[in-house]
Amino acid sequence: MEESLWRQRSRVKWLALGDRNTKFFHSVVKQQCMQSVIHRIQKSDGEWVSEDELIGTKAVRYFSVLFSSADGPGMLDVPAVIPRLVSGEDNEILEAVPSLEEVRQTVCEMDASSAAGPDGFTGEFFSAAWEIMGGDVHKVVQSFFCGAELPRRITAISIVLIPKVQQPKDFSQYRPISLCNFGFRVPRGYPTITHLGYADDVLIFSGANTTSLKLVMKVLEDYEVVSGQLINKQKSCFLVHAALGRPRKLKIQQVTGFSSRPFPIKYLGYPLFYGWQKREYFAGLCQTVVSRVESWRNKLLSFGGRMVLLKHVLAALPVYLLIAAFPPKSVLKELERRFSNFLWGEADGDLEKDDSGAAYCGAAYWLD
């Protein structure tokens, strides 16, 4: 019972219960508590704020402005060039009132150990008590599909900030996620769907002349007006060949408002570069493996626990990259060495370091 409790608190889903895991769960919870606290934040004038009340006030102000909708044409003015991909028959299926069995099946298929919302109830509670409360849950879902407004205690959410970088300075370096109550996740009704669209990281190829750049920016501005989505110029950049002159780079920066970055860069986890591939281009892969190993505290894990991690987590990390790239053999050998050290219980943090204290994976450097 104690181990099951700490396993839920640690949010570790890959490890089965065992006689040596409770200490590991304690360690994970302790580390998560230390990382989940925002100790200070930097204001726009460079001054640091460390008082909890001021940090909270600044967070509310920042995200309220970020998620406030500005007046605009909205999605009703989407150009007709976007094809209608969802048919009327599909919409009827989506809007149909689900049966009791459909709701039960949905509850059972959802992640039972996912993070709870403000009410503190996880999917495990709903699954275990379904015989008692299943009818009430079904009535809530039916009411939602019939147009009833759900009470605030059901729709309430908790906002959690996930750091985007190792040492975030301001709230632009945090990613907000919503933790909904489990009961609110069960209703699956939506308004009539006419279009489905997705845009995240986009690569645009263009000439470096002023006319082409202005046309590209005009298209992006039209997209912002129609969709309501704004381009984050702080995260956007442009890349050019190293032989391009500095005056032309400054002109591109002036027209686009984007900063210049040198090759290589990462796009969807893949290093983009020109010329021969080098070992240091794949340093991020080695760093990811080492970071995972350091965070797991392998001294607190049994041999079986390390084997599960190696097979299902560590060995899966390079798969995505290997689909599109062929790293040098030295990188693959380094990964195998890290896997072996982790499996056979080599001490945590056993990394090669240079004189500056920067850990590196062979010839690939990175700074903490």
pLDDT in tens, 328-365: 888 888 888 888 888 886 544 444 444 444 444 433 33
Query: Per-residue b/e over 195-209, b at no fewer than 16 CB within 10 Å?
Result: eeeeeeeeeeeeebe
- Domains in the chain, number: 4
* Residue 110, Cβ density class (10 Å: 0-12 exposed, 13-18 middle, ≥19 buried): middle
Domain coverage including residue 319: 279-352+359-365
Q: Is residue 273 part of a domain?
A: no
Least confident range from 4-18, 260-274, 321-335: namely 4-18
| Domain presence at residue 46 | no
**Whole-number mean pLDDT of the chain?**
75
Same domain, 291 and 257: no
251 found inside a domain: yes
Tell me which of 302 and 158 has the higher pLDDT: 158
pLDDT value for 253: 92
Asked if residue 130 has pLDDT above 60, the reply is: yes
pLDDT, greater one: 134 or 365: 134
pLDDT at 294: 72
- Name residues whose C-beta falls within 8 Å of residue 275's C-beta, 6 or more positions apart in sequence: none
Among the listed ranges 48-62, 72-86, 214-228, which one has the minimum average pLDDT value? 72-86
Taking the whole predicted model, whether its pTM rises above 0.75 is answered as no
**Dihedral-angle region of residue 239 (phi above 0 means left; psi in -120 to 50 means alpha; beta otherwise):** beta
For residues 253 and 283, membership in a common domain is answered with no
80/149 same-domain check? yes
The reply to whether 26 and 127 lie within a common domain is no
Q: How far apart are CA 254 and CA 250, in angstroms?
A: 6
In a domain, 325, yes or no: yes
Within-domain flag for 228: yes
**DSSP code of residue 191:** P
Mark whether 141 and 243 lie in a shared domain: no
CA 253 to the chain's CA centroid: 29
Tokens for 312? 């299902």
Q: Between 180 and 17, name the one with better pLDDT.
A: 180
Whole-number percent of the chain with pLDDT over 90: 6
Residue with tokens 């759900």: 150
pLDDT at 63 over 60: yes
Is 321 domain-assigned?
yes
pLDDT surpasses 80 at 171: yes
48-58 mean pLDDT: 87
